[in-house]
């Protein structure tokens, strides 16, 4: 139960920080219609999950729930997606890597479209 509490706290903090950084970045670098705020948050999140995962491979404690699952999960799920893909790449599981990337993007776009259509009715 304590781990769920840490995930809850980290997720809330990550979500708020994502909102603040994304909005500030978008205002600072308004590059035509490129979603710079989301891009910056995703790249920061990927870097953070890499650093944190490397550290927590050696140490197993509650902070991994607070910082990796909670904070990084609230900050951006793209970081988890990227870390999983990197793991597939490291393990030489290229067919699954390619399938995961393509399906995630294509099916994700289709799901957004379908959600928008359902909400219109």
Numbered residues of the known binding site for Na(+): 73, 76
30 half-sphere exposure, CB direction, 13 A CA radius: 2
Q: Which residues are annotated as a binding site?
A: 73, 76
How many beta carbons lie within 10 A of that of residue 56, not counting itself?
A: 15
Angle between helices 77-90 and 94-120 (to 10 degrees): 160
How far is residue 119's CA from residue 121's CA, in Å, rounded to a whole number?
Answer: 5
Locate 73 and state its tokens: 């999960």
């Amino acid at each position: 139960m304590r781990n769920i509490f840490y995930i809850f706290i980290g997720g809330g903090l990550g979500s708020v920080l994502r909102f603040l950084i994304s909005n500030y970045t978008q205002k600072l670098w308004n590059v035509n219609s490129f979603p710079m705020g989301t891009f910056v948050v995703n790249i920061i999140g990927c870097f953070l999950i890499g650093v944190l995962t490397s550290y927590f491979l050696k140490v197993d404690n509650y902070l991994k729930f607070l910082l990796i699952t909670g904070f990084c999960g609230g900050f951006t799920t793209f970081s988890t997606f990227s870390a999983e893909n990197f793991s597939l790449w490291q393990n030489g599981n290229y067919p699954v890597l390619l399938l995961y990337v393509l399906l995630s993007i294509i099916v994700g776009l289709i799901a957004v479209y379908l959600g928008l259509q359902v909400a219109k009715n």
